[in-house]
Amino acid sequence: MYSKIVILTFPREVAQKALVCQLTRKYDLLFNILSAKISNKKEGYMVLEISSVSRAAFNKGVNFLKEQGVSVSSPEHRIYKDEEICTHCGACTAVCPTEALYIKRPQMEVIFDQEKCSVCELCVVTCPTRAMGLFSAETQDVA
């Protein structure tokens, strides 16, 4: 079994299409949606774990998505949150498109769930204390 986490970005024109469901119907792939959101600009973001019987089957499904105009990427970098610097102001949660950053209530603590992060870097430029940052991670090709 081959399994991989990928980040899909759907342009406005295809954001409403049920393309991901076709991965199962047409290409026999299994998927687990880790996170999904549509931005104000109507673009769609989705973090998926895709499983298939082989790398070749995975590639066919990914190529199908790309042909439909979907951007498919694998994070070359990862985001970190420096807990010693974070003041839990919440500014990053307002811009995070995948809800990887959220406020835990009633403690009102800002939590970072790296599994949901699409590495869009919006939090990095938004954080007033520079608690959010980028570090290099292992690179993997996507189809």
Rule CB under 6 A: is residue 12 a binding residue for ligand SF4? no
Output 28 or 82, the one with its CB closest to ligand SF4. 82
Among 20, 48, 50, 101, binds ligand SF4 (CB under 6 A): 101
- Enumerate residues 6+ apart whose C-beta is below 8 A from 74: 4, 5, 6, 7, 139, 140, 141, 142
Rule CB under 6 A: is residue 118 a binding residue for ligand SF4? yes
Output 59 or 121, the one with its CB closest to ligand SF4. 121
Going by C-alpha positions, the residue among 76, 82, 137, 136 that lies closest to residue 110 is 82
**Residue 3 CA neighbour count, 13 Å, CB half:** 6
Output 48 or 110, the one with its CB closest to ligand SF4. 110
- Report the DSSP pairing between strands 30-38 and 77-81: unpaired
Residues contributing to the site for ligand SF4 (CB under 6 A): 79, 81, 86-92, 95-98, 100-101, 110, 117-123, 126-127, 129, 131-132
